[in-house]
Amino acid sequence: MPLYLSPRIGPTLQSALDETVLMAQLSDALGSPLGVILPQQLTANVAAFRSVFSDHRLSGQIYYAHKANRSSALVRELAATDAGIDVASLAELQHALGAGFVPQRVMATGPKNEEFLWLCARTGVTVSADSVGELAALATLVTDWSLPRVRVMARLSGFTSAGVQFNSRRSRFGVSAAAVSEVLDVIEKRADALDLVGVAFHLDTIGLPEKAVALEGCLGALDECRRRGLRPWSVDIGGGFGVDYLADGAQWEQYTSALTEAVLGRRAPLTWTGHGYGLRAEGAHVRGSLNLYPAHRPVSGPAYLDRLLRTASPEQRRPLGTLLLDNMYDLHVEPGRALLDQCGLVLASVLEVRDEANGDTIVRLDCNARDVSLEEHGVLMDPVVVHRTTPAAPGPVGVYLFGNLCLEADLITRRKVFLPSRPCAGDLLAFVNTAGYLMDFSATQALRQPIGRKVALYRDDGAWRWCLDEQYWPVHHRAEAP
Amino acid sequence: MRFENMTDAIGNTPLVRIDPAVHGLRNIDLYAKMELLNPFGSLKDRAAWNMARPLLTQAVERGDTVVELSSGNTAKALAVIAGMHGLTFKSVTNRMKVAEIKDLLLLLGAEIDELPGQAECLDPTDTDDPLTRMYHRLAGSGDGYLHTDQYFNELNVDAHLNGTGPEIVKDLDGRAPDYFIACVGTAGSSTGVAAALRQHNPDVSVVGLVAHKSDFIPGIRTIDEVHEVGLFDPGVYDTVETITADDAIDGLLTLVRRCGTLAGPTGGGAYQGAVRHLRAIDAQLTERHTAVFIVCDRVESYMSYLRERRPELFGRPPRRNSLRTVTDADVRQAATMDVAEAERWIAERRGLVVDLRSPFAYQALHIDGSINIVDELFAELLHGGLPFGHRQPVLLVCPVGEKSARYAALLTRMGHPDVRSLDGGIIAWRDAGAELVRD
Ligand SMILES: Cc1ncc(COP(=O)(O)O)c(C=O)c1O
Ligand SMILES: Cc1ncc(COP(=O)(O)O)c(C=O)c1O
């Protein structure tokens, strides 16, 4: 029985996929792999987050975490909405400013070098500071270059809880919440250069309780600010809202159960060389834990934000959203992956399909594991076969997907992938819903293999149109014929 | 019965027949092993005591902390046992999902450590799962911990091999039952009891019950997780079947409402799983057979679990003056005051300003002269009637003016002639630059 992990495909993405002739033409003209971006979907995703804000009567900004995709079309389309952008490098900041973001809509996060800090201060974007040292360096730049006061957020980490200890992974980033007074000392001393507008955190976890502890910790830090007469008005809770990748939760359950059995040797391996994705057998028992993205996540994206805001704070026992509102605080979020849900796909062309002597079927693709980094990010999700002609032999087939690098490890996924019909050379595989981190985050030019081009695919005048990603601007309405 | 210690009261629980009119089996006598009657509340008292006892003298000398990976009954029993010996107990858990048990553990003085949730951005180089890391931590710090290790400790099995199992045989007049049905958590009880029963009758049919994959039944494992349990040996069970949370609750309701047995969800699950399994067999039987299942613990700790899954069981009559009865039309009728008018009204001390926000937010910044009654408390007061007189003018304040308008509408309906809501709430007040103070 084939173990499918069918991707969740929304109506817009489906309608793009249905353009099989266009897909084949694009791939023929621009090569494989090809990133296909659907910028207009982003507008709908921003609106879905906005409606959670308005349901909770909260003000604040949605900052798209640019790092999730290098595309210009996405950033430019976003500039046309009311959302903001979270930039984490000098080049991302330049990109955002060039796409039309005024500095008020930009938040700079992550580790920063001096050039990045200088451009932040010079243009007046908000700096989410990672450390006391960064604040001091920023203040020095402001003085040395006679720049206006910079709006700063203090990023905190290492929150503690009373009663139950919610452990979080240790973070490289942010100032320990217990040491917030050191941050405030610097801010007060350098009030001429630094204007504290809020506090921030970003936790790399799917766990709500940890985030609830962190959010309440931020409220405590803001209270400390008010005690000192400072008046910051916002909390930035970072990203990590997640995406539901799979159409059918039952498939995910069947697959992971089968994987456990395969690891225990109770059924034929489901993976290349019996890889266990974190599970291993010790005698008759499995040890370890599944090191995979929870691809079936019914509560994700805006719904996850809503759930968090409805969660009672551990100490004050009032919903976190209500507490934010009670305190008149703005809520900022920095979703990356979740804002790019359904915003793109990667097309890869099939070079060869062959059957090995041991019964395995191999599909060799003209792209590599860095071009569709499903495996690196632990997302298990099937590609969609785009046939050029009606398949000769219909019926499911289990295949391994090989990449185009001369490297033993270059499998697009170590998992045997079940396809509803056998592809043949020249057909395309569409890796859908890969815009967030899975498209170009890790792409490299190893072996001088080209990094895939990107096109923007958009609806205009009731039809799909396309252009190169870097050519895309939201003003694509062609002039009407006279 | 006179004992020196509560631990002496562990075990020797009754075996009670379930009324055939309830289960409907015609050829099978169904008995429940009433483990809920153990002194700390569950079957796990036996395992906890058996695992901890041999190590206690040493642990007391060194002042060790007792540690276990448990979010339920084992933690509860160990916390009590640790306390009786002047030791601390630390429970390490993936997620403490049942609020009552968490509160009870804190009450008993236990420390609770929650392992971190899964990373959102996967780090493929991080092959160590939190559990493995915990084992390293316990091993690494060497002394200082008494780790009972229930998922791998044979003494967990022995507690049932030498206790629970032989008790069942004795109460059945020296014979083993034909069927034994139990839920599987650590597998300690089912493995131990099965071995004891098979010493008397190698043909006992043993049914292990685990939770359906996407379900959560506190205390037992799902069909996948069971393979992670060190004590779990598939050879022990003639079959392993799954039960859903719904099955467990259906069974629980039968036991608590009809059998005088205040069983928790796994007791209910064991009953439901037993009857389901036996019904098919019963139809074929020509002679009398006997079956035993385990009622592991009590219902009281699972009220929040039940309320979440079966809210209809807790239906209460509506309370009077409930905010939910206020309609949008009522709200549109409610009297409001804009910021400028409110500033004058307050300056002239015309009435009482009630701030409905949380105490924490109120203390941080509020309108001078206002008093704070957080909305939940205010709602509670109103069920009893008006908390101030009719001649007392009132201005209600909330964050954006929505909640205050609803309460103003409710108070108006309750007969208050002069209650108003601050339009746009305290956020509009702040945005207009009006004064906010903190004490
Ligand atoms: C500071 C910060 N904000 C936001 C994000 C975006 O996270 P996600 O794409 O999971 O929403 C990241 C991701 O690494 C981050 O480091
Ligand atoms: C409520 C409940 N039922 C059943 C069990 C299963 O018992 P065992 O761990 O012996 O398999 C447990 C074990 O923790 C439990 O807490």
Full residue range of the structural domain in which residue B162 is found: 6-42+154-314
Distance CA(A30)–CA(A22), nearest Å, equals 12
| Cα(B305)–Cα(A57) distance, integer angstroms | 30
- Ligand 1 atom showing the smallest separation from residue B120 Cα: 10
Six-digit token pair at B182?
């139990």
| Pair B178, B265 in one domain | yes
B115: left (phi over 0), alpha (psi -120 to 50) or beta: beta
Hey, what are B406's tokens? 């609803």
Q: Does residue B324 register a pLDDT over 90?
A: no
pLDDT over 50 at A360, yes or no = yes
Q: State what percent of residues in chain B have pLDDT above 70.
A: 94
Q: Is the CB of A302 under 6 A from ligand 1?
A: no
Tell me the residue ranges of DSSP E strands in B83-169. Answer: 88-93, 111-114, 145-147
User: Using a CB-CB distance cutoff of 8 angstroms, which residues of chain A are in contact with residue B404?
Assistant: none
Tokens 């007060």 found at:
A188
Instruction: List Cβ neighbours of B426 (8 Å cut-off, separation of 6 or more).
Output: A328, B355, B357, B366, B367, B397, B398, B399, B436
Q: CB count, 10 Å around CB of B138?
A: 17
Give the pLDDT band of residue A482 (cuts 50, 70, 90): very low
Per residue in B10-51, pLDDT (tens digit) is 999 999 999 999 999 999 999 999 999 999 999 999 999 999
Do B202 and B292 lie in a common domain?
yes
- Stretch B192-206: mean pLDDT: 97
Q: DSSP label at B164?
A: I
State the Cα–Cα distance between residues B196 and B208, nearest whole angstrom: 16
Report pLDDT for A481.
47
Task: Tell me phi and psi for residue B291, to 5 degrees.
Answer: -135, 145
Looking at the complex, report in whole angstroms how far the Cα of residue A165 sits from the nearest Cα belonging to chain B.
5
Mutation probe of ligand 2 site: the residue of B34, B35, B40, B44 with most atoms within 8 A of C-beta: B44
Which tokens belong to A480? 């009407």
Residues 6+ apart with CB under 8 A from A462: none
Could you tell me the residue ranges of all domains in chain A? 11-38+343-471, 40-243+295-332, 249-286
Inter-chain CB proximity B118 and A207 less than 8 Å: yes
Decide if B187 is inside a domain: yes
Nearest CA distance, A126 vs chain B (angstrom): 21
> Separation of A117 CA from ligand 1 center, angstroms?
19
- Tally of domains within chain B: 3
DSSP run (H or E) holding A269:
none
Residue B142's domain is classified under what CATH number?
Answer: 3.40.50.1100
- Please state whether the peptide bond connecting residue A33 to the residue before it is cis, i.e. omega within 30 degrees of 0: yes
- Domain final residue pick, B130, B147, B164: B147
Residues of A in contact with B116 (CB under 8 A): 166-169, 205, 207, 210
State whether B256 and B234 are in the same domain: yes
Residues B119 and B50 in one domain: yes
Residue B135 domain-assigned? Answer: yes
Give yes or no: residues B379 and B391 share one domain: yes
pTM of the model: 0.86
Determine contact, residues A165/A185, Cβ cutoff 8 Å: no
Residues B269 and B167 in one domain: yes
Query: Cα(A10) to centroid of ligand 1, in Å?
Result: 24
pLDDT band at B124; cut points 50, 70, 90:
low
Q: What is the mean pLDDT of chain B?
A: 92
Pick the residue from chain B with its C-alpha nearest to A289. Answer: B129
A167 C-alpha vs ligand 1 centroid, how far in Å?
Answer: 20
What's the Rg (C-alpha) of chain B? 29
Which ranges constitute the DSSP H helices of A145-205? 180-189
Query: Average pLDDT for residues A36-45, to the nearest whole number?
Result: 97
Residue B438 lies in a domain: no
Asked if A328 and B430 come within 8 Å (Cβ–Cβ), the reply is: yes
Longest dimension (CA), chain B: 92
pLDDT band at B125 (very low <50, low <70, confident <90, very high): low
* Total number of residues shown for chain B: 439
CB pairs under 8 A between A and B: 131
Asked if residue B288 and residue B236 are part of one domain, the reply reads yes
Q: Is residue B35 part of a domain?
A: yes
Q: Does the beta carbon of A321 lie inside 6 Å of ligand 1?
A: no
pLDDT digits (tens, 9 = 90+) for A377-390: 999 999 999 999 88
Residue B426: phi and psi, rounded to 5, are -70, -20
Instruction: Specify the residue for token string 């396309």.
Output: A466
Q: Considering only CA atoms, which of B381, B360, B375, B384 is closest in space to residue B406?
A: B375
H or E stretch at A371: none
Residues B119 and B188 reside in one and the same domain: no
How far CA A125 is from CA of A128, B241, B415, in Å, comes to: 10, 59, 53
> 3-class SS at A467?
strand
End of a domain among B147, B179, B194? B147
Question: Is the separation of the CB atoms in A297 and A243 below 8 Å?
Answer: yes
Q: Out of A343-352, A404-413, A416-425, B285-294, pick the least confident.
A: A404-413
Q: Hey, what CATH topology would domain A11-38+343-471 get? A: Lyase, Ornithine Decarboxylase; Chain A, domain 1 (2.40.37)
Q: What is the ipTM for the molecules in this complex?
A: 0.80
Closest partner CB to A165 (pick from B111, B117, B120):
B111
Q: What is the pLDDT of residues B42-82, one digit of tens each?
A: 999 999 999 999 999 999 999 999 999 887 999 999 999 99
Ligand minimally distant from the alpha carbon of residue A69: 1
Residue B285 burial by Cβ neighbours in a 10 Å radius (0-12, 13-18, 19+): middle
* Strand pairing class (A394-402; A361-365): parallel
Residues B136 and B272 in one domain: no
pLDDT score, position B93: 83
Same domain (yes/no): B379, B301: no
Tell me: the pLDDT tens digits for B381-438?
999 999 999 999 999 999 999 999 999 999 999 999 999 999 999 999 999 999 999 8
pLDDT tens-digit readout, B249-260: 999 999 999 999
Q: Which of B118, B147, B176 is the C-terminal boundary of a domain?
A: B147
Q: Is A65 in the pocket of ligand 1 (CB under 6 A)?
A: yes
| Tens digit of each residue's pLDDT (9 = 90 or more) over B103-116 | 999 999 999 988 87
What are the pLDDT digits (tens) for B266-291?
999 999 999 999 999 999 999 999 99
Closest CA of chain B from A325, distance in Å: 6
The beta-strand segments (E) located in A109-268 are: 126-129, 150-157, 165-166, 175-176, 194-200, 234-236
Give the pLDDT confidence score for residue A62 in this predicted structure: 98
Cα(B421)–Cα(B334) distance, integer angstroms? 8
- pLDDT of B128 above 60: no
Q: Judge contact between A329 and A232, C-beta under 8 A.
A: no
What is the CATH architecture of A40-243+295-332?
Alpha-Beta Barrel (3.20)
- pLDDT confidence bin for B123, thresholds 50/70/90: low
Co-location of B180 and B310 in the same domain: yes
- Binned at pLDDT 50, 70 and 90, residue B311 comes out as confident
User: Do B121 and B207 fall within a single domain?
Assistant: no
Range A132-144 average pLDDT: 97
Which among A165, A318, A327 is the nearest to B364, CB-wise?
A: A327
Judge whether B87 lies within some domain: yes
Residue B119 confidence (pLDDT): 75
Say yes or no to pLDDT of A338 above 50.
Answer: yes
Pocket test for ligand 1, best of A42, A334, A337, A433 (most atoms within 8 A of CB): A334
Q: What is the pLDDT of residues A285-310, one digit of tens each?
A: 888 888 899 999 999 999 999 999 99
